[in-house]
Amino acid sequence: MSNKMNEQDRDKNIGRAYKNASNETTTSELDDSIMAMAQEEVEVQDAGDKSWWQRLRMPVSIAASLLVTVGIARFMVELGYYSPDSIASSENQVEVMAYAEEVSAEHAPMKPDAPTPSKHAELAAKAKESADAAQVSAARIAVEEKRIMSQRQEQERHEAEAEMQMVQKKSIEQKPVESEPSAIQSKAEDSALADFAQETSEVETIVVTGSRIKRTELETEAKDDANHLGTLKEGSGTGNQISAPAPVLSAEEWLEEIRLALEAEDLEAARAKWSDFKQYYPDYDVDKSLKDRLEAL
């Protein structure tokens, strides 16, 4: 505790001493004497003789600096760093670079604006129009193909009828009087010709399965029917008993065509094909539901 009191007394004494020292000032006589002594010292230094180095130190330093600067400049010029051509080329390069930056800034691609709802609607409408146009063009192509195939089938039917008429005319001229088997054969030929004309006049069936179009060609059937008619003619020449021509299609293919005709709601074609099928395949086991439906036509 005594130490603490001693420290407090010491702090008080130090504070009092600082306060007294801050209030003390010098007298004017002391200030005048100090200024007089400084003035005398300056006059003594000015009155003294200067050496030659002190007199020439500043000019020599300036001349040396100038000489060093000129020497370095000449050295750089000899190396080509500061030749007029290099300066001009550097200036041209700066101008070219500035011009290139301006051109690139002018031709820089603009950032596309964010699509707005109206643009989305326009794009959707255009896409829908394109899809509709594609569907319409596909439908037109299908109709055109169907029309061309119908014209071809019609032309072939007319040609076949003309050929058969010529054959019948020649056979009548060669055999004016026919026997009873020949008359029966002629009736068979007429019925076969009627079946052939009916089958060739049918329009090509187009079956749509998903997005694919399946075409069922009838040209092979027409050719096979013509071959069968030739077989009938040979039978009439020999005078033997008339036999049914070989089937044009297999039983499965024929039933498939009948099903396609039913799906297309072409009841007349389905009825005709079913009648021909029973003639060629009388003992074939047909599905009961399909058979009942065909018998009801």
- Residue by residue, pLDDT tens for the chain (297 residues) are 567 777 888 888 888 877 776 666 777 888 888 999 998 888 876 665 667 887 888 899 999 999 999 999 998 888 876 555 555 566 667 676 777 777 676 665 555 455 566 767 777 788 878 777 877 778 788 888 888 888 888 888 888 888 888 888 887 776 544 444 444 555 555 665 566 555 554 434 433 333 333 344 444 554 455 444 444 444 444 433 334 455 567 888 888 989 898 898 888 988 999 998 989 888 888 888 888 888 887
On the 0-12 / 13-18 / 19+ scale of CB atoms within 10 A, 23 is exposed
If you search the block for the tokens 């077989």, which residue do you land on?
Answer: 231
Taking only Cα atoms into account, the Rg of the chain, rounded to an integer number of angstroms, comes to: 62
CA 69 to CA 53: how far, in whole Å? 23
CA 16 to CA 23: how far, in whole Å? 11
One-letter amino acid at 39 equals: Q
Q: Write down the domain spans for the chain.
A: 133-244, 247-297
Q: Are the C-beta atoms of 294 and 277 separated by less than 8 Å?
A: no
Phi, psi of 265 (to 5 degrees): 60, 30
Task: State the pTM of this model.
Answer: 0.22
Q: How many CB atoms lie within 10 A of CB 195?
A: 19
